[in-house]
Structure 1
């Protein structure tokens, strides 16, 4: 434990944080500018390396894959979310207060009272986005800003763990999850696997393991629990998934432990009613980690343009190649805004260029590299290129469902001030812009979405986004002509009779057994014996 930092306490930045050792031992709250500098990773291209043979230069180029990260607004939002979650979670876990011991005691019978609702103080958030978009990398970059993951408090004889990242196991079992937790904990504390040896035994059942999980999490005052690859839970039966998710919600309720879920769009299918209510009640919301877009709303270039310009500057060519619109658009087409695909394609294209001795990236070279070396992801990229929802849905890791995007946006809208308040001109323009974007996400064409949004706002000027979307759906339903219901004509049919018709026999003679026998329509079995 001697290798860990001893707490030094800073002055509280706001009144609520005064007298909270766990909060005041943390680094100061970052400004957006500080966050950008903290997260940004730009590999160095050394001039002497440019002159090296191609087979050696390739090794230097690997820095593109391992050491490039360009901060965007999403990164800044993520950092602020994590910063707030850690501090808010610590507010009710003050080691300088006797109530802290009460919190520890509350975990004694933890698993016997499983909560089904996160209540109004849910410390839950999520980062959901397509594979390769950089979610996990971004989370790790933000957590790295808390350089001292473990902080010692000698005055209080306490060991604080600021954050812990645990991967959801592939088999999605309770036992595997707890094993991953104890291993991550032992690694962070340099504990020589002591917790895993102590708690994970052949006869340990799920109930015992979850209880130990909660007690140790409370004991070490974990500031934030990050559960990565949460979509793995969909591989388990619904009962196990629901149980694990309720357990996480209970952690936030009982010991006020904030939890950040990270996963692909598959994760949206997993959230049970208890988890959905937790996400709605959470003051931190959820972050949809989308692919880069090409829309420029700032006049300073789109996120994609700024990202790719910085990436393109990492050239190990003797004569660096200027960036053209053709090349930028080509990389967009082949990556569809997925950061990892764009970085990988750029690295592979550059290594191919120096290997063949041309040291220039052309359209033909990029085409060849994509088709030769990224052929496994070609079907997914083709689906995104098509824009056809049915094609995209074949690959569940590609896109966030539109319904989830709309739900995410409306979470914040329903908590607005009274919808009867007077709407200013600037607010109207903002609403128009948000509504237009939402309609495009819903599948309404970009050419008509602005007109539809304008009509809805003019007809419902005081409505929030939730009301406006509902209004538009109403209009669509009314526009569809209802089929006229025609009364069926009752046609009286005259029956057609044949010779020796049994129906005539019944009507005329009463249809008794004797009558039928006299008419010869009943067989006598004795004739056939």
Structure 2
């Protein structure tokens, strides 16, 4: 918890804007970045590195390589825009909740105030491994400390605790009750007190209004500025139950008047698009797509690799080259987390085999021998680089031939999915009802043929929707 000292350099400041200078919830916070370059500097995270560490014993150098996990370079425009947009939304929310104004006082007691302010929902999307969670970590750290303890604001007693953000992962098969309970427990954890433990988990009440009112207590008592929901794609496992969670979030946004950030894969985006109001709010708050680079020639990819490459703890560091850049892309297909994992594993391998250098061949060999569980996923991205939506990713994964398929196996058998005309005519005729049951039972047990990679790629890339629908057996 950060104690704010009014006369210290990190205390309340004056910038010449009354809506900030006169607001105890804002006067101590860092302003949103002024420029794109400022955002880049605020977000960037590089590991501590000293070239002399290369002379350390191998046991220590292996530990140093693990520092690559603390590495983030905001090469995408979406990275910087997300920081500027989300931090600005936090400021806008607090401007309308100044507890020293009549408007802010009305908010504290749960009464509606200032209908001109429209809180927003923002969405950070991308493939797993693209750094979505790391990005929000950096954004939240850039805004300020998570918890502040106020004492006195410009001569006025203000003994309040302020929680800048609350962030939780959406669990699989969650309910409104379990989601709220996780926020209550988490609020206790960050405050170091037991104030809200059990108010959700120990009640048998299932009314949504009850949960809203209890969450309101946390938000207003501690001046929470932002709610963050990570792993939002887990709601796709809930079917119709997901709509209740989304409706609850919309209610939180409207009734509590604070911005919300949702983080997830592209599957989560499909859930939100079902609700027109949420989709519209999503566009207002910002949609930040952490797109995967489609080739090693991508400027952002090359910048990322150039920045990461000097962090070598092997004794014979190599110069960066186009072959290195291409090899890193080949084994990761632009997924940042995979690239860093292979890069770290290659360094450890070079230490163990005595070569003490990492080159393109070693990167490829380490991926081939040590990253076998990733081979299928990388091949899917390699062949289907035009795919982004989770629906197509799921289709591709389901129809992708497995590595265990023997060479020469016919992946597209010619045997029909239904009986031939001859077999139908040879079968004894059954009564209509019995025949219908037989067909239903047979169709339920039948398996569909697998397609070759070439056929899948051709189908997905085709503009003929009917052809794609027929091949993949998808509903129109």
SS of residue matched to 1:106: coil
1:386 aligns with 2:383: yes
Bigger radius of gyration: 1
Corresponding position of 1:201: 202
Aligned-pair CA distance for 1:11: 2.0
5+ residue gaps, structure 1, are 109-117, 400-442, 446-472, 478-529
What are the residue-to-residue correspondences of 1:515-526 with 2, within 5 Å? none
RMSD between superposed Cα atoms in Å? 3.1
SS of residue matched to 1:30: coil
**Number of residue pairs matched?**
386
Aligned-pair CA distance for 1:38: 2.7
Distance 1:196 1:388 in 2: 47
| Aligned residues of 1:265 and 1:397 also touching (Cα < 8 A) | no
Q: Are residues 47 and 122 of structure 1, via their aligned partners in 2, closer, same or farther at CA, if it must alter by over 3 Å?
A: closer
What are the residue-to-residue correspondences of 1:119-198 with 2, within 5 Å? 121-154=118-151, 155-191=157-193, 193-198=194-199
Distance 1:393 1:369 in 2: 31
Aligned-pair CA distance for 1:364: 3.4
Distance 1:20 1:124 in 2: 24
What are the residue-to-residue correspondences of 1:182-331 with 2, within 5 Å? 182-191=184-193, 193-205=194-206, 207=208, 208-238=210-240, 240-271=241-272, 272-273=274-275, 274-280=277-283, 282=284, 284-292=285-293, 294=295, 302-331=299-328
| Aligned residues of 2:227 and 2:260 also touching (Cα < 8 A) | yes
Corresponding position of 1:342: 339
Q: Are residues 308 and 254 of structure 1, via their aligned partners in 2, closer, same or farther at CA, if it must alter by over 3 Å?
A: same
Q: TM-score, normalised by structure 1?
A: 0.66
5+ residue gaps, structure 2, are 152-156, 398-459, 466-476
1:21 aligns with 2:24: yes
Aligned-pair CA distance for 1:133: 0.1
2:54 to 40, 46, 50: 50
| Aligned residues of 1:131 and 1:398 also touching (Cα < 8 A) | no
Deviates more, 1:243-252 or 1:219-228: 243-252
Distance 1:125 1:100 in 2: 24
1:365 to 359, 362, 365: 362
- Cα deviation code 1:296-325 (max 9, x no counterpart): 7xxxx8111111011111111222111221
SS of residue matched to 1:315: coil
Aligned-pair CA distance for 1:107: 6.7
Corresponding position of 1:113: none
What are the residue-to-residue correspondences of 1:471-486 with 2, within 5 Å? none
Distance 1:326 1:364 in 2: 9
Deviates more, 1:252-261 or 1:130-139: 252-261
Distance 2:43 2:195 in 1: 33
SS of residue matched to 2:215: helix
Q: Are residues 33 and 394 of structure 1, via their aligned partners in 2, closer, same or farther at CA, if it must alter by over 3 Å?
A: closer
What are the residue-to-residue correspondences of 1:28-67 with 2, within 5 Å? 28-31=31-34, 32-65=36-69, 67=70
SS of residue matched to 1:21: coil
Q: TM-score, normalised by structure 2?
A: 0.73
- Cα deviation code 1:34-78 (max 9, x no counterpart): 43333222223334431233333211111112x211122332111
- Cα deviation code 1:209-253 (max 9, x no counterpart): 343113321322211111111111112231x32222122222222
Distance 2:186 2:5 in 1: 21
Distance 2:250 2:73 in 1: 33
Deviates more, 1:15-24 or 1:315-324: 15-24
| Aligned residues of 1:95 and 1:156 also touching (Cα < 8 A) | no
- Cα deviation code 1:410-442 (max 9, x no counterpart): xxxxxxxxxxxxxxxxxxxxxxxxxxxxxxxxx
Distance 1:267 1:362 in 2: 38
What are the residue-to-residue correspondences of 1:355-434 with 2, within 5 Å? 355-387=352-384, 393=391, 395-396=393-394
Distance 1:268 1:372 in 2: 35
Deviates more, 1:90-99 or 1:351-360: 90-99
Q: Are residues 202 and 353 of structure 1, via their aligned partners in 2, closer, same or farther at CA, if it must alter by over 3 Å?
A: same
Distance 1:335 1:398 in 2: 18
- Cα deviation code 1:438-473 (max 9, x no counterpart): xxxxx989xxxxxxxxxxxxxxxxxxxxxxxxxxx9
| Aligned residues of 1:6 and 1:152 also touching (Cα < 8 A) | no
Aligned-pair CA distance for 1:258: 0.4
